[in-house]
Amino acid sequence: MALSAAAMLSCGPKGDPQLGKASIDKVIGAMTLEEKAHLVIGTGMAGTSGDAPVIGETRNLVPGAAGTTYPIPRLGIPAIVLADGPAGLRINPVREGDEATYYCTHFPIGTLLASTWNQELVEQVGNAIGEEVLEYGADVLLAPALNIHRNPLCGRNFEYYSEDPVVSGKIAAAYVNGVQKNGVGTSIKHFAANNQETNRMGNDALISKRALREIYLKGFEIAVKESQPWTVMSSYNYLNGVYTSESKDLLTSVLRGDWGFKGMVMTDWFGGKDACAQMEAGNDMLQPGRDGQFEAIVKGVQDGTLDEAVLDRNVKRILELIMLSPRFKGYKYSNNPDLKAHAKVTRQSATEGMVLLKNDGVLPFSSEIKNVALYGTTSYDFIAGGTGSGNVNRAYTVSLQEGLSNAGYKVDKSLEKMYLKYIAEETERLNPKSDNPMAMFMPKNRAGEIVPSKAELASSVSANDAAIITIGRTSGEFLDRKVSDFSLTAKEQELIREVCKAFHAAGKKAIVVLNIGGVIETASWKGIPDAILCAWQAGQEGGNSVADVLKGNASPSGKLTMTFPVAYKDHASSKNFPVDLEFGMFGKTLDADKGEKVRNVDYTEYEEGIYVGYRWFDKAGIEVSYPFGYGLSYTEFEYGSPAISHSAGVTKMTVTVTNTGKFAGKEAVQLYVSAPAGTMDKPVRELKAFAKTRELKPGESQTITLTVADADLASFDQEQNAWTVEGGNYIFQAGASSRDIRATLETEIKPSVIKVSQAL
């Protein structure tokens, strides 16, 4: 009796087992092959051919979300909603026949968040984003994105964190922990080696086992181990000849076997080719789903090429994810997240990731500076973030002109008028109404710069106390940047030169603000202005955040998570990157007819191996414009009392940081390690840990402890397929940047070897 009562409770009206009441295995046992095949693909995407049948039904759950899972009501399986990030939740801001708005907060771009070097702060930002995910009814945020900045020209670097895997992994873990605190999921992406947009669905990334493990997978490994994201998104590209979404080595042996990942893997949108191979590889769900994939899976099981047990395994992982979701739990979302509170979060977090590259003392502005002359089109048309799926539909963007006005500065009206007129004309000229459906994803054409006449300059010099020149860049999904985008244009150079000359001649200061999403050339002009603030793309409150920094309400404490080279070609990867090739993401090959493969389009050789970013610049002894880890503050910090200890396989280095300057500020302390000479080739030094002080008042100190496990000192030995720690004296260096080491200590480490799966 008791048994059959329990059975009844776990079943629906027609006797079907219900998810959450009956065991998952029972639910799977009751599914038809067709239902299973539907569940492992999504519900299709509007406007794409081959929509799966239920598109209309679930698309409206949260309009503008990237996708949903397939609902099976008879088994109590709801559709759950997957929506983009990473700079905030991406959904449609307005809905047909609905007066309400559904704006989300545009937080700073990933690169800025990483530049804070502050995991606690990134976790807070993640927490705020997670609240919007939850309260707008989404279940999984398709973020964070943590591919390596292999080359400055990758169009999506703004979404990513760093040229270094430890920064990438730790910042991603903090973000995931923050979002998932809300009981919603994340999808760390794009796994792995999606380091260029050119021909992103057909490019084969050819990478040595060592570089793969140490550089391109390491960040994902850290994020998986330190935050257990609910899902992982495989990438579009091939990796050493195999689509990542079809690679069992990557998705099963490494991700689950070596790292212990317990969640679900989904494809990037329309990624990969062979649905059965994807199932087999452990790519549990294919998004957004196409009829052809459904048919291939059903046929595969029927003709025995796809083991149904494999399908069941993937179905199980999807059901486990669904059971975690707010929608499954019946959470009543409000459609009313606390956008006011989140505007404060983004405003404050942005100031902490801005990097002060140069300051001769003009910043923060003294109280004598009241009237400012604001140059550069982006001062008035400030860029909140990049384009594509990482764009966020926010209610507003605070420009620098508005931010400065809000902060009580008088912004030169005649310059404002001149720029607004110019921007309107240029926008009209460059962006004629387009019926290209992809246009919404493309970077907006921005007005080039104008250089005021001598007379105009003279009058703004006399009317103002200082000048600010903003240099802006935008980029995004689908397209890589060009070398011309890395360089300043002749007009931009002239603008900086002429404005600085005119203001300097009158004994006044001129500063440059960089409103950029990725690295640009700075070496040729950085000597000219009095200060340079790299403000990045700082989210919807960007102008307010910059004003907070310029005014001294906040001391900038960001540091670069990538190198600013002297010249683009100084990067080792520049030899093997699709530079200035006229290919978009589809990358039709030049000699398609002849079947010839085009270098850097069809395949890219990661010839530089592990020598990415500072690892390369240090090894080759190349001078850089601003090194990895660099960033000034309004105050100064001294590093004292260094100490080191080693026990139970862990090294601890402590250092006491003292604020010796006049402003309150925070310091990002970096720990680099140099290995002893052994049999393996080693970088000069590698970042192994970092930490940020709390805000220290002048004279205040804080002791920082940086911890490194012996295993984290290992290099990947391709011959042995093992992480190998060579024995000897390791040099631990606490630094303010990769080229500003403040304290050095040594400790002896015993050799060890950690075997991994034979894969990859």
Q: Which is nearer to ligand BGC, 64 or 282 (CB)?
A: 64
Task: Give me the phi and psi of 130, to 5 degrees please.
Answer: -60, -35
Does 238 participate in binding ligand BGC (rule CB under 6 A)? Answer: no
CA separation, residue 277 to residues 182, 237, 262, 311, 320 (Å): 34, 15, 20, 11, 22
Q: In whole angstroms, how close is the CB of 130 to ligand BGC at the nearest point?
A: 16
Does 66 participate in binding ligand BGC (rule CB under 6 A)? Answer: yes
User: What is the rounded distance in angstroms from the CA atom of residue 73 to the CA atom of residue 460?
Assistant: 68
Among 84, 131, 246, 352, binds ligand BGC (CB under 6 A): 84
Q: Which is nearer to ligand BGC, 269 or 637 (CB)?
A: 269
Q: Which is nearer to ligand BGC, 78 or 86 (CB)?
A: 86
Q: Which is nearer to ligand BGC, 234 or 522 (CB)?
A: 234
Q: Which is nearer to ligand BGC, 229 or 665 (CB)?
A: 229
Please list, in sequence order, all residues whose beta carbon lies within 8 angstroms of the beta carbon of residue 156, skipping any fewer than 6 positions away: 145, 147, 197, 386, 388, 390, 475, 476, 477
Q: And the tokens for 708? A: 């490194």
Does 389 participate in binding ligand BGC (rule CB under 6 A)? Answer: yes
Q: And the tokens for 57? A: 């039904």
User: What is the rounded distance in angstroms from the CA atom of residue 583 to the CA atom of residue 590?
Assistant: 9
Q: In whole angstroms, how close is the CB of 142 to ligand BGC at the nearest point?
A: 4
Q: In whole angstroms, how close is the CB of 45 to ligand BGC at the nearest point?
A: 9
Strand-pairing partners, residue 22, are 19
Q: In whole angstroms, how close is the CB of 68 to ligand BGC at the nearest point?
A: 12
Strand-pairing partners, residue 140, are 82, 185
Q: How many residues bind ligand BGC (CB under 6 A)?
A: 8
Per-residue binding string, ligand BGC, 503-542, x by CB under 6 A, is ----------------------------------------
Please list, in sequence order, all residues whose beta carbon lies within 8 angstroms of the beta carbon of residue 108, skipping any fewer than 6 positions away: 87, 125, 346, 349, 350, 353, 385, 536, 537, 538, 539, 542
Does 129 participate in binding ligand BGC (rule CB under 6 A)? Answer: no
What HEC string does 168-235 produce?
Answer: HHHHHHHHHHHHHCCCCEEEEEEECCCCCCCCCCCCEEECCHHHHHHHHCHHHHHHHHHHCCCEEEEC
Does 142 participate in binding ligand BGC (rule CB under 6 A)? Answer: yes
Residue among 268, 284, 465, 712 flagged as catalytic: 268
CA separation, residue 81 to residues 32, 35, 138, 185 (Å): 23, 18, 5, 10
Among 189, 317, 473, 682, binds ligand BGC (CB under 6 A): 189
Does 81 participate in binding ligand BGC (rule CB under 6 A)? Answer: no
Q: Residues of 510-520 as b/e, b for ≥16 C-beta within 10 angstroms?
A: bbbbbbbbbbb
Q: Which is nearer to ligand BGC, 189 or 394 (CB)?
A: 189
Among 102, 269, 503, 616, binds ligand BGC (CB under 6 A): 269
Per-residue binding string, ligand BGC, 469-498, x by CB under 6 A, is --------x---------------------
User: What is the rounded distance in angstroms from the CA atom of residue 503 to the CA atom of residue 3?
Assistant: 86
Does 268 participate in binding ligand BGC (rule CB under 6 A)? Answer: yes
Q: In whole angstroms, how close is the CB of 229 to ligand BGC at the nearest point?
A: 14
Dihedral sign, CA of 567, 572, 576, 577? Answer: negative
Q: In whole angstroms, how close is the CB of 723 to ligand BGC at the nearest point?
A: 30
> Helix, strand, or coil here: 371?
strand
Q: Which is nearer to ligand BGC, 156 or 213 (CB)?
A: 156
Whether 25 is a known active-site residue: answer no
What is the binding site for ligand BGC (CB under 6 A)? 66, 84, 142, 189, 268-269, 389, 477
Residues designated as active site: 268
